[in-house]
Structures are given as C-alpha cells and as structure tokens.
Structure 1
Amino acid sequence: MQYLVLASRCLIGVVFLASVSTKVAGPAAFAAFVRSVRRMLLVPSGLVKPVAGVVVAAEAAIVVLLAVPTRATAVAGFAVATGLLLAFAGAITVTVRRGTRTTCRCFGASTVPLGPAHVLRNLLLVAVAVAGGVAAPTGGSLRLGESLVAAVAGLVLGGLVTVMDDIRALFHPTPASRRH
C-alpha cells in the first residue's frame, strides 16, 4: 500500500505543482487566471480575485503537504486535493452546462474550452487522491527499487495529466486546441 501512497503523492503533487506554478509565474499569469475564473460566472465579481487567491494557496498547500514525508501530511494533502478537485469538477460541470465557453487555465495558456474531459480528469484525480488518502495511514517499509518505480510512475502520469489538452489536440486537432 505504501507504493500506492508514494505514486499517488507524486502524481497529485506534480499536477498541483504544475497548476500553481503556471498561475504564479508572474502578475500576467495570475491576472489571466483571475480572468478565467471571472469568465466562469460562478462567483460575484468582487470575490473573483480572492477566490482565485484561495485556489492558488490551496494548490500550493497540497504540494507542500504531499512533499513532507509523514502520514499526517499525506492524509491532509490528499484531503485538501480531494476537496479542491471536487470543487473544480463541480465548477466545470456548471460552466459547461450553462453553455459558457471559457478556456481551461489549469496548466497555463491553453485555448481548449472547458468540457466533459476536464470533469473526467478531475474525477479520476479525485479517485487517486482518495486512494492515496485511504492508504496513507497504513504503515509499512519501502524498498528502494519498488519506491523508484512507484515514484517515477506517479511523476510520469502526473506529467501526462498536465498536458492532457495537448495530447488530445494531437488526435483531434482544431484551431481552438492550439496553445499559445
């Protein structure tokens, strides 16, 4: 079970590290994220920037919690990730159902509009976070070879998640799926 926890820590950690880093890469990056939150039409105008700030802070907290090698921080990191991912899935679902066409600023400057694939991605990440959180309290020793395999698997899968829109564009190219 500890290898599942390690792989899950790496996968979720990479996803949120990529997500937060693209939002805090500079004032323009954060401003673009704020605009994307505003375009979703889910929060009152005056709360858009504070909500965006809370999202960035939560994403950063997840990265830190999952990087600290204790059971308690793993459980906390997975719990925060689960809550945030469920909120993302719900927000995207509402946005898509309303017919609001806005882009995903999840991992940078994508021009791909939010859609069902983004909801599915977040729900799959919820499953990983829940599995990691459930397995984290169990103990056990780790062997180096198996740990490396689990860590690399989590890192690679996390990296693939962050470029999901780009991968989809390779198989279904449209003008809207190109990145800037």
Structure 2
Amino acid sequence: MTVVFAVSALGKARAPGEFRASVREMRIVPLRALGPVAAAVPVLEALLVVAVWVPALTSWAFLLSFGLIAVFTAALASVLHRRIDTSCSCFGASRTRVGPAHLVRNAVLLAATAAGFAAALAAGGPGSVPVAGSLDPAGVSVALLGAVCVSALVLSTDLLADVFAGTGGAGRRTS
C-alpha cells in the first residue's frame, strides 16, 4: 500500500493539472470543490504513506486507506456506469481510459489494505508495537516480496489494460 500511494501521490504532484482535469472530466466533484479536492488527494495519500509506519497510527492508516480506495472505486464505477470516456490519472499523466481493469486493480488494493488492517490488529491493535524478536524473518521476507509484486502489478494497470485490449500501449501518454 505504501509503495502504491507513494507513487500515486508523486505522480499527481508531478502532473497536478492532469489530475485536476481528470477529476473534472469524471464529473464526480462539484466545480467549486475541484481545486481543493485535487490538491487534497495527493497530500492525503502522502500522509497515509507515512502514517502506516507510525506504530500508533498503523491500524488507522490502513482503515483510512481502505476508505480512500473505496471512494476512488466508487468514483471509477460511476464513470463506467455513466459511460464517461476519460482517463483517471490515478498515478499521474495517463491517456488510458477508465475501464474494468481499474476496478480490478482497486479490488486488489482494497483486499491488501483490509489484510494490512487485520495484520495490524492481530499484532496487538491500534498503537501496539511488535517486539523485535516476535517477527519471523522468513514471514517478513515473503510479505515484502508479495507486496513488491502486487505493487508492481497495480502500478502497471494501465499498461496491462492496453496490452489485453490489443492497443499495445498506444493508449498511454509517453510523457
């Protein structure tokens, strides 16, 4: 989750106009709230990247991440339902149109954040700090490898959607 949100926040920070235009084209936010929402989303994502590593905030960070991703998913589902032909610029500038692959990606993210929340609770609940000797190095290694692989797939959603749609990446912006 932290890798995905970090890349997402950075992508939006690098192309704020693209993200703002994308939110406007989705028609999910009133125009008067467009600027504050477009500015707040990458800031919130960046804060969650940090908060998940603060033991007193870990459970809450996973819970808020789940909520944020649920809102993103509802917005994308609304765009698909209303047949709005737009890109999401979820990770910065992109021309790949919102499609079912984005919902699948978000379902994976929802599952990952739910698992993170459950793991944080199992480790002792909000604010608990695991004892160094209680962590299984092999388990931590497997979890980190899994997180890196899932993050790579999630971050490649637009490219994978283009490949499976037969556009060969033609739907993506190269800049």
Residue aligning to 2:116: 132
Q: Quote the Cα distance in structure 1 between the aligned partners of 2:108 and 2:153.
A: 13
1:53 to 14, 30, 39: 39
Stretches of structure 1 that go unaligned for 5 or more consecutive residues are 1-11
> Cα RMSD (Å) of the superposition?
1.7
Structure 2 counterpart of 1:50, which letter? P
- In structure 2, relative to structure 1, the CA distance for the partners of 1:17 and 1:106 (3 Å cut) is same
Q: TM-score, normalised by structure 2?
A: 0.85
Distance 1:145 1:134 in 2: 20
Q: TM-score, normalised by structure 1?
A: 0.83
Question: Which residue in the other structure is 1:179 paired with?
Answer: 173
Query: What amino acid sits opposite 1:42 in the alignment?
Result: I
Please name the residue that 2:51 is paired with.
65
Change (3 A) 1:85 1:36: same
Q: Residue 88 of structure 1 aligns with which residue?
A: 72
Match of 1:143 among 122, 136, 139: 136
The structure with higher relative contact order (CA 8 Å, sep 6+) is 1
Cα distance per residue 1:83-139 (max 9 Å; x no partner): 111100111111111111110201122211112221222122112111211221223
Pick aligned residue for 1:16 from 5, 28, 32:
5
Letter in 2 for 1:65: A
Supply the AA of the counterpart residue of 1:156: C
**Of 20, 23, 26, which residue of structure 2 is paired with 1:40?**
26
* Partner amino acid, structure 1, of 2:23: V
Distance 1:144 1:134 in 2: 19
SS at 1:160 equivalent: helix
* C-alpha distance in structure 1 between counterparts of 2:24 and 2:161, whole Å: 26
- 2:107 partner letter: L
- Between Structure 1 and Structure 2, which shows a larger proportion of helix residues? 1
Equivalent residue of 1:101, what SS?
coil
Deviation of 1:144 after TM superposition, in Å, equals 2.4
- List per-residue Cα deviations over 1:44-88 (Å, max 9, x = no partner): 1111010112211211111011233x2x32211111111111100
Aligned length: 164
Contact (CA 8 Å) 1:58, 1:80: kept in 2 or not?
no
Task: Tell me the percent identity.
Answer: 37
Give the secondary structure class of the aligned counterpart of 2:42: helix
Verify the 8 A CA contact 1:78 1:133 in the aligned structure 2. Answer: yes
Other-structure match for 1:168: 161
